[in-house]
A and B are shown apart, each in its own frame.
Chain A
Amino acid sequence: MPDRFLRINAYTSLNMADAELQCAEGTAETYGIVNITAARDTPKSVNLQLEIDNTELETVAPHADIFSLSPEEARTLAMDLNKYADRVEAVSE
């Protein structure tokens, strides 16, 4: 298998997020990396980076997904993350 695509260090947002990979071949529960970043200098967008660990699903080649978000899109995402975090917390409390 190839090396991981994303850099992983102490600045990575989440280096162990529960993940489920879905594809035509089936689904697989695994871990993944979620990272939010922006270029260190003169950033043009917020980068949302996702990489799910390699699985035994042969039709899915190892890869990473990179989303380039505008500040507005990033804030929309943050608002939704907060909103649903509140909902989950409310149920678990």
Chain B
Amino acid sequence: MPTDVERWKSEVYGDDIRTHLFEFAESGFDTIPDDERDAWFERFKWWGLYHQRNGQEGYFMMRIGTPNGVLKPGQLQVIGEIADEYARGPGVNPIFGASYADFTTRQSIQLHWIELSDVPAVFEKLEANGLSTQQACGDSWRNIVGNPVAGKDAQEVIDAWPVIEELNKTFKGNDDHANLPRKWKVSVTGSVDGSGQGDINDLAFEPAYKTRDGAEVVGFNIRVGGGLSRNEPRLARDIDVWVEPDNVSTVAGGLSALFRDYGDRDDRYNARMKFLVDEWGTEKLRSTLQSEYIDFELETAGRDVRRSYSYNTGEGPRNDLVGVFPQKDGKYFVGLNVLVGRMGAADIKQLAELADTHASGEVRLSQRQNIILTDVPESELDALLNAELLTHYSPTPSPFMRGSVACTGTEFCSLSIVETKNRQVRFARWLKANVTIPDGLEEFHIHLSGCTASCAQPQIADVSLRGMKTRKNGEPVEALDIGLGGGLGSDPQFARWVGQRVPVDEVPGAIANLIDTYAIERVEDESFRTFIQRHTDEELAAKIEPAETTYEDPMMHNTKRTWYPYAENDALDAGPEAPADD
């Protein structure tokens, strides 16, 4: 018996949704029949639209998929203009204002308060400028991620950008791969720093060498079945396959088709590729791929470069891509910290102008919710770095600012149970002002997710925070579970959860105490992650000492029960009517 979602998908899915979407945009949000809303909202995801949470009837989040986070010259300006004109609604954020865009952990862009009636105009402007929301959400090929500076990076061993462009061209709007059992997340990386974070993707291509005629050639090893969601995180597993760049699209298509044909369509909670890999094992997966989907002999895995991975590992250089780095062509890329990935529309437009003035105008988005200006000539570096805007979006930020990642939270999301983005801003600012940074600690990753869906990738941070509830002074308050020691690299590990239901106003104190303990007890210059690794769960639980401090949290109450947490009258029944279809 097919699930409801499978039934809806079998009726209308893929490109065809667009026609209906535009019809509803014309006839008005209210013309979506009540008993068809679940079905249409599910389908709209394929075109990048999520209906916002309870209390925000008729408003949508729009996700724009930018492959590998690449925004070509002029595109950031377009994003700023669209955010300014269309991403406005009845709620105003006290930190970020009335109009802003979010850069996501999958190198995409999210806008909020989008009205259905505006969707055709937004699509027209996006598409006229080479941007798209197609398959940004839904059960298909999502935005392809990778090292954001592919093609530019002085450290890359193979340029993955042409491969990503080919995959994007082949599998966006491809009817054979438009309706998969569940989302399909792909990473392609050509650098030695691991910044594509392949380990947490359904399908990962990672650089690897094979010997041909006595010489080494570069291609990709393949890992399959990673992912963080559903309290069941998995690292992608090595299926012992190496492909040359020209064959990536064929093998990726084979694996996508295998998932399409064998993935679980009866139970969406069991549908992700990671569960099929659990069930089959890698040998069966490889043999099925070979026998049913690929008509040339697959090669065994080559020599990888995982030992040199540094991205999001908790130590070493290029733990993120914030800062000034050389490109292979003698120019530089400048990674800027965007705290929790959110940037006001005016700032976006100003940054686009800076990119035009001082560089090529191209920018890139990283999986740590940051933005990178590429192609900066040495002669322009000082002028760019002295720009006033870069005091807010710094290439040399505090460890607490650069390390902060947060999901959308109760501001807009239907799943979250706590406020996230603004809270993470408050946390970072307080930690920056109040915590003495131990010598040598340049980066400290704190990821905050509002629920177990893991959109902020909490399991791969130094400090993992996840939404919960507790009671304080007799009153229910928002709280966080705390995990420690997660990170990627050659030895990737998920966080160990060692603290439960810490009231949100005591979390900064807990982190401060933990860092003080680390500073005192660390052996020589060991990293925070190494320090965590050598302690047992019980020892770590004892090191989490929640404490009230000067930090004050104005959102202690149950923000899930508001229509908009920052509204003067935030009661759920005080929310706005659905917007008129003007």
Name A's B-contacting residues (CB within 8 A): 1-12, 15-16, 31, 39-42, 53-54
Report which residue of A5, A6, A9, A10 has the largest number of chain B beta carbons within 10 angstroms of its beta carbon: A10
Alpha-carbon distance A15/B466, docked complex (angstroms):
13
**Smallest beta-carbon distance B407→chain A, Å:** 11
- Taking a contact as CB atoms under 8 Å apart, the answer to whether A10 and B470 are in contact is no
- Taking a contact as CB atoms under 8 Å apart, the answer to whether A16 and B470 are in contact is yes
- Taking a contact as CB atoms under 8 Å apart, the answer to whether A3 and B231 are in contact is yes
Known contacts A8-B451, A9-B417, A10-B414: does B501 contact A31 (CB below 8 Å)? Answer: yes
Alpha-carbon distance A53/B468, docked complex (angstroms):
12
Alpha-carbon distance A5/B451, docked complex (angstroms):
13
Residues B450-485 near A (CB distance < 8 A): 451-453, 466-471, 476, 481, 483
- Taking a contact as CB atoms under 8 Å apart, the answer to whether A41 and B2 are in contact is yes
| B523 contacts the other chain (CB 8 A) | no
- In the complex, what residues of B have CB within 8 A of residue A40's CB? 3-5, 268
Closest to B54 in A: A10
Alpha-carbon distance A90/B467, docked complex (angstroms):
34
- In the complex, what residues of A have CB within 8 A of residue B230's CB? 7
- Taking a contact as CB atoms under 8 Å apart, the answer to whether B231 and A6 are in contact is yes
**Smallest beta-carbon distance B206→chain A, Å:** 26
- In the complex, what residues of B have CB within 8 A of residue A6's CB? 231
- Taking a contact as CB atoms under 8 Å apart, the answer to whether B470 and A31 are in contact is yes
Residues B323-358 near A (CB distance < 8 A): none
Apart from A40-B4, A41-B3: 16 A-B pairs, beta carbons within 8 A: A1-B497, A1-B537, A2-B497, A5-B231, A8-B451, A8-B452, A8-B468, A9-B415, A10-B415, A10-B451, A10-B560, A16-B468, A16-B471, A31-B471, A39-B267, A41-B268
- In the complex, what residues of A have CB within 8 A of residue B466's CB? 8
- The 3 A-B pairs at the shortest CB distance, nearest first, are namely A41-B3, A9-B451, A16-B469
Known contacts A1-B541, A2-B497: does B467 contact A8 (CB below 8 Å)? Answer: yes
| B257 contacts the other chain (CB 8 A) | no
Size category of the B interface is: 35 or more
- Taking a contact as CB atoms under 8 Å apart, the answer to whether B268 and A16 are in contact is no
**Smallest beta-carbon distance B314→chain A, Å:** 19
| B416 contacts the other chain (CB 8 A) | yes
- In the complex, what residues of A have CB within 8 A of residue B384's CB? none
A10 contact from B3, B417, B537, Cβ within 8 A? B417
Alpha-carbon distance A40/B453, docked complex (angstroms):
17
| B95 contacts the other chain (CB 8 A) | no
Alpha-carbon distance A53/B501, docked complex (angstroms):
9
The A interface is mostly helix, strand or loop, or mixed, namely loop
- Taking a contact as CB atoms under 8 Å apart, the answer to whether A15 and B469 are in contact is yes
B415 contact from A2, A11, A15, Cβ within 8 A? A11
Alpha-carbon distance A8/B467, docked complex (angstroms):
8
- Taking a contact as CB atoms under 8 Å apart, the answer to whether A53 and B417 are in contact is no
Alpha-carbon distance A7/B3, docked complex (angstroms):
20
Known contacts A42-B1, A42-B3: does B501 contact A4 (CB below 8 Å)? Answer: no
- Taking a contact as CB atoms under 8 Å apart, the answer to whether B497 and A3 are in contact is yes
- Taking a contact as CB atoms under 8 Å apart, the answer to whether B476 and A16 are in contact is yes
The B interface is mostly helix, strand or loop, or mixed, namely mixed
Closest to A53 in B: B500
- In the complex, what residues of A have CB within 8 A of residue B416's CB? 9-10
| B498 contacts the other chain (CB 8 A) | yes
| B112 contacts the other chain (CB 8 A) | no
Alpha-carbon distance A12/B415, docked complex (angstroms):
9
Closest to B537 in A: A1
- In the complex, what residues of B have CB within 8 A of residue A5's CB? 231
**Smallest beta-carbon distance B463→chain A, Å:** 15
Report which residue of B231, B268, B471 has the largest number of chain A beta carbons within 10 angstroms of its beta carbon: B231
Alpha-carbon distance A7/B269, docked complex (angstroms):
11
- Taking a contact as CB atoms under 8 Å apart, the answer to whether A54 and B500 are in contact is yes
Alpha-carbon distance A57/B483, docked complex (angstroms):
20
**Smallest beta-carbon distance A82→chain B, Å:** 23
A41 contact from B1, B231, B496, B537, Cβ within 8 A? B1
Closest to A18 in B: B471
Render B477-509 as a binary contact track against A, CB cut-off 8 A, 1 for contact.
Answer: 000010100000000000011101100000000
Alpha-carbon distance A54/B497, docked complex (angstroms):
11
- In the complex, what residues of A have CB within 8 A of residue B451's CB? 7-10
- In the complex, what residues of B have CB within 8 A of residue A41's CB? 1-6, 266, 268
- In the complex, what residues of A have CB within 8 A of residue B414's CB? 10
Alpha-carbon distance A15/B476, docked complex (angstroms):
11
A9 contact from B453, B496, B498, Cβ within 8 A? B453
10 contacts between A and B (CB under 8 A): A4-B231, A4-B497, A6-B231, A7-B452, A10-B414, A10-B451, A31-B471, A39-B267, A40-B268, A41-B2
Closest to B497 in A: A3
**Smallest beta-carbon distance A81→chain B, Å:** 20
- In the complex, what residues of A have CB within 8 A of residue B6's CB? 41
- In the complex, what residues of A have CB within 8 A of residue B496's CB? 1
- In the complex, what residues of B have CB within 8 A of residue A16's CB? 468-471, 476, 501
**Smallest beta-carbon distance A20→chain B, Å:** 15
Alpha-carbon distance A31/B53, docked complex (angstroms):
27
**Smallest beta-carbon distance A30→chain B, Å:** 9
Closest to B500 in A: A53
- In the complex, what residues of A have CB within 8 A of residue B500's CB? 53-54
**Smallest beta-carbon distance B478→chain A, Å:** 10
- In the complex, what residues of A have CB within 8 A of residue B231's CB? 3-7
- In the complex, what residues of A have CB within 8 A of residue B267's CB? 39
Alpha-carbon distance A2/B497, docked complex (angstroms):
6
- In the complex, what residues of A have CB within 8 A of residue B266's CB? 41
**Smallest beta-carbon distance A18→chain B, Å:** 8
- In the complex, what residues of A have CB within 8 A of residue B415's CB? 9-11
Residues B486-536 near A (CB distance < 8 A): 496-498, 500-501
Closest to A42 in B: B1
Alpha-carbon distance A48/B168, docked complex (angstroms):
43
Alpha-carbon distance A5/B497, docked complex (angstroms):
12
